[in-house]
Amino acid sequence: MQGHMRLFSCAMRSFLRCFRLGRRWGRSKLLKRARELWSYGKLCAKSLFYNSLTNSDVVIDSLFEPIYWLVDHVTRWFGVVFVFLVIVLTSSIVLIVYICLLPLILDTYSPAWITWHVCYGHWNLLMIVFHYYKAARTSPGCPPQMKTDTPSVSICKKCIAPKPPRTHHCSICNRCILKMDHHCPWLNNCVGHFNHRYFFSFCLFMTMGCLYCSISSRDMFIDAYNAVETYYQTPPPPFTFKERMFHKCVIYLWVLCSSVALALGSLTLWHAMLISRGETSIERHINRKEKHRLEKKGKQVFRNIFHYGRMNNWKVFFGVETRSHWLTRVLLPSAHPPYGDGLTWTLSPTTTRRTLLAI
């Protein structure tokens, strides 16, 4: 009986050892299989997404791609709203000037000052309206879709078409723009080769107009502000409804014109600096990166091939060929086209002629 018990206990011990080994072998097999699947998954991910040129900028751009898409589509629709705001705000300022400021000028100023205010004010208003309309309604220019002999520097990844020098793709307009500077929501249009001059002139004359209104109404603003401060005294001052509206309109005019003059004046100075260097807003960033890249390699100093000299840059930008053009093409409304077709770049008649292509 004891022999049978020993035999049974030995059999049970052997069975338990086999069971434990089987469990260990099964667990190690599962872990091994999981490691293989993990390695295979990493290999598949690297084969699909790995790029030796990828850096932190590429990763950040990829993460912000949904935000870029949202901004592009929202800006496209809000462009109409921004244009409406420009028209409404500008019209309100003009009405206040005609209703509030002009009668006061006619009653209190001398004939010489009246003549100057009337002439300058209407000339400035004419230049603002003309250049804003032309900037918003003029096409910035697009490269031809058909096959031509026009030289190109690359292929647009969105349009799958050749890109001439200084051409860039606008994700909001969904097309390539010749000599693209930026997409302006206040124009609901891109700023490019054929309307860049109109855009800058509008910014310049709008800044001048806002400064003119702000300076001319400064004393009136101080008086109106002091009057508004007394509205809540006890007893209240005996101002009529018309006088209260006059005070509020003057304050609105001065605050709006001063704010626009400060903001738009800074933008105008920035674009004036770019024009002096023969660059657009996009080319400014490209040229800075290229300059840093060459400096790291210890090569020669970067040179912008579209920089013809400061004065020549302004002549090319405004289309000035003779001295009289500074009056007829800059200080008066003019719809003359810019130099060139935006596809190939040559210097203006004011300088030596040679064909230019972007790097």
Which are the catalytic amino acids? 184
DSSP string, 229-265: HTTTSSSPP---HHHHHHHHHHHHHHHHHHHHHHHHH
Q: 353: burial class by Cβ within 10 Å (0-12, 13-18, 19+)?
A: exposed
Whether the CB-CB separation of 187 and 135 falls below 8 Å is answered with yes
Q: Residue 111: helix, strand or coil by DSSP?
A: helix
- Alpha helices by DSSP H, listed for 97-189, are 102-108, 111-137
Cβ pair 201, 217 in contact under 8 A: no
Residue holding tokens 């009057």?
227
Q: What's the token pair of residue 196?
A: 């860049």
Please enumerate in sequence order all residues whose Cβ is within 8 A of that of 267, keeping only pairs 6 or more positions apart, or say none: 203
Q: Is 177 exposed, middle or buried (CB count within 10 Å of its CB: 0-12, 13-18, 19+)? A: buried
CA-wise closest residue to 172 among 80, 91, 297, 265: 80
